Structure 1
Amino acid sequence: MYENQKINQEKILGNNGRIQILNTIIDVLNVQETIDLVEQYIVTKTPLHLMGVNADKINEVNDNEIMKKIVNSCGIINADGASVILASKFLKKPLPERVAGIDLMQSLVALSEKKQYKIYLLGAKQEVVEQTANALKKQHDKLKIVGIHNGYFKREDWNKIGLELKEKDPDIVFVGITSPLKEYLIEYLQEQGNNAVFMGVGGSFDVISGNIPRAPLWMQKMNLEWLFRVIQEPRRLFARYFIGNWKFIIAVLKERKTIKNGKTI
């Protein structure tokens, strides 16, 4: 990230509190505080990589130095996982609440309609991203969607995508591409000079388009949305959630022991 971008980022962050869980920095923000902060980036045209971390992402940060550098350099890093909230309380540095990626995306879409901010949808299959755009326009008839692009492209196409974004000049780019490619792509696009807010939204396009149902509200309230996803796609997600969660729990237990022993993390 360029030095002037870092200076602008520091001005916007101000006195915002941050904690660290394992090797990952996380902002002490609730949903509304996040929305308010994101809007400051939009109105000042300061580039932002809006990051949401769960247990799987923190495991990835622990194992991947490049990912660690990318995540911890993001302007806003939210706790997008019940396990992260529980870990923060266990480590005696509690976070206020989970900032669910799909809910935050919907809130930012509503804000964009109200303030006439321009959005761009990048990711998923072509028919899915088209359906997502149609669904959002149906919910928000005054929403400005300045462009869409599917997520099936090669590394050599990144420059072309970056040039299109510069031409369309969106305020927010929602990126529905799998990790870690998503993070690498966002970093590339920002280094290219795109001053938008970039937010990775995982499988949110599939949910918004109606192709995949979201967990019932009672499961969301009980922090069981992850289980609903595993039931939907057991082959793809079993290892991530069950094995990954155990890996995360063991690492958090070790960190708690380190803190008790008065050692520096």
Structure 2
Amino acid sequence: MITDELIDLMAEKCILNDEDFDAAVLDDQPKRIQTVNLHHLALAARSDDFARTIERADYITADGWPIVSLMRSRGIDPERVTGSEFIERMLAGRQFHGKKAALLGADRHVGHDFRGQLHDSGLHVVFREHGNRRDWKPKRLAKKLQKYGVDLLIVAVTPPFGDMIGEEVRKAGFSGVVVNVGGAVNMATGNAAMAPTWVRAMKIEWFYRLAQEPRRLFRRYFVECLPVFVKYVLPHYWRRARV
């Protein structure tokens, strides 16, 4: 469930901007970074196990303006920091040159496209695991990642499973950096639609995605997320607006 303690802990661990995100990934210390959006909070409201997964992340990011508003209610002022933009920076630049990465999740052809697009960045995908996620064993995955000398594990699986398997792999002994990015790899490789820049600037990316996949997302946005927004985010937003 969502508690004041969970929100306070999120604020303590919140990465403030893209530069801090990249610096945390480049730091050699083992860690897990979890992007958090309103859907994550809706899942946490229904599942104590998933709420604990958020608590156990070393860092979180405010992925969406509702989470930005919630973090501001705790006295910090983060920018919107998303997994999709992290993947875009990874593909466009060379700040991760020489790092060894692994991809967990996404379809096999998506992983092939992603590895090819990373060629110019100097970041090498040395291990990929696709297939049936029910067959994934955290201890086996951790051993494989250690064997290949992986620095960065990119978990391209939607919540709640993606975040929870990332935490289990870390607990099983992986000593690198785990980043949960959901569907960002699909979008970066052109296998899923990414909202245009102007849509993101207007903070209506949720509406764009709803228009793309109304059957899948209507329940998520209006049945699962809207009550959480009204209960936990909107009161803080109104209070700030009156100040």
User: Following TM superposition, by how much is the alpha carbon of 1:94 offset from its aligned partner in structure 2, in angstroms?
Assistant: 4.5
- Over 3 Å counting, the alpha-carbon distance change for 1:55 and 1:153 in structure 2 is closer
User: Following TM superposition, by how much is the alpha carbon of 1:144 offset from its aligned partner in structure 2, in angstroms?
Assistant: 1.6
The match for 1:119 among 81, 84, 101 is 101
Does 1:186 pair with 2:184? Answer: no
- In 1, the alpha carbon distance for the partners of 2:220 and 2:174 equals 32
Residue number in structure 2 paired with 1:135: 117
Residue number in structure 1 paired with 2:224: 244
Which digits, 9 at most, give the CA deviation of each residue in 1:7-30, with x for residues without a partner? xxxxxxxxxxxx977576131511
On the 8 A contact 1:21/1:88 being kept in 2, the answer is: no
Residue number in structure 2 paired with 1:10: none
Secondary structure in 1 matching 2:81:
coil
Identity %: 24
On the 8 A contact 1:24/1:71 being kept in 2, the answer is: no
Does 1:205 pair with 2:190? Answer: no
On the 8 A contact 1:24/1:68 being kept in 2, the answer is: no
On the 8 A contact 1:176/1:205 being kept in 2, the answer is: yes
Does 1:105 pair with 2:87? Answer: yes
User: Following TM superposition, by how much is the alpha carbon of 1:123 offset from its aligned partner in structure 2, in angstroms?
Assistant: 0.7
User: Following TM superposition, by how much is the alpha carbon of 1:109 offset from its aligned partner in structure 2, in angstroms?
Assistant: 5.6
Does 1:75 pair with 2:55? Answer: no
User: Following TM superposition, by how much is the alpha carbon of 1:156 offset from its aligned partner in structure 2, in angstroms?
Assistant: 5.6
Aligned pairs, how many?
Answer: 234
TM-score calculated relative to the size of structure 1: 0.77
- In 1, the alpha carbon distance for the partners of 2:210 and 2:228 equals 17
Letter in 2 for 1:73: R
Does 1:60 pair with 2:47? Answer: no
Q: Which has the higher contact order (CA 8 A, sep 6+)?
A: 2
User: Following TM superposition, by how much is the alpha carbon of 1:108 offset from its aligned partner in structure 2, in angstroms?
Assistant: 4.7
- In 2, the alpha carbon distance for the partners of 1:124 and 1:151 equals 9
Which digits, 9 at most, give the CA deviation of each residue in 1:137-174, with x for residues without a partner? 2x52x322212221523246443322211211211111
Secondary structure in 1 matching 2:20:
helix
The match for 1:175 among 155, 176, 188 is 155
- Over 3 Å counting, the alpha-carbon distance change for 1:250 and 1:121 in structure 2 is same
User: Following TM superposition, by how much is the alpha carbon of 1:114 offset from its aligned partner in structure 2, in angstroms?
Assistant: 4.6
Residue number in structure 2 paired with 1:37: 24
Which digits, 9 at most, give the CA deviation of each residue in 1:66-119, with x for residues without a partner? 112221121111101122123444x36352210011112333566765541111
- Over 3 Å counting, the alpha-carbon distance change for 1:111 and 1:48 in structure 2 is farther
TM-score calculated relative to the size of structure 2: 0.84
- In 2, the alpha carbon distance for the partners of 1:55 and 1:155 equals 29
Unaligned runs of 5+ in 2: none
User: Following TM superposition, by how much is the alpha carbon of 1:200 offset from its aligned partner in structure 2, in angstroms?
Assistant: 1.1
- In 2, the alpha carbon distance for the partners of 1:152 and 1:168 equals 21
User: Following TM superposition, by how much is the alpha carbon of 1:239 offset from its aligned partner in structure 2, in angstroms?
Assistant: 1.5
Residue number in structure 2 paired with 1:234: 214
On the 8 A contact 2:31/2:178 being kept in 1, the answer is: yes
- In 1, the alpha carbon distance for the partners of 2:54 and 2:67 equals 15
Secondary structure in 2 matching 1:50:
strand
Letter in 1 for 2:113: Q
- Over 3 Å counting, the alpha-carbon distance change for 1:201 and 1:84 in structure 2 is same
On the 8 A contact 1:122/1:151 being kept in 2, the answer is: no
On the 8 A contact 2:90/2:118 being kept in 1, the answer is: no
Unaligned runs of 5+ in 1: 1-18, 260-265
Letter in 2 for 1:37: A
Does 1:153 pair with 2:136? Answer: no
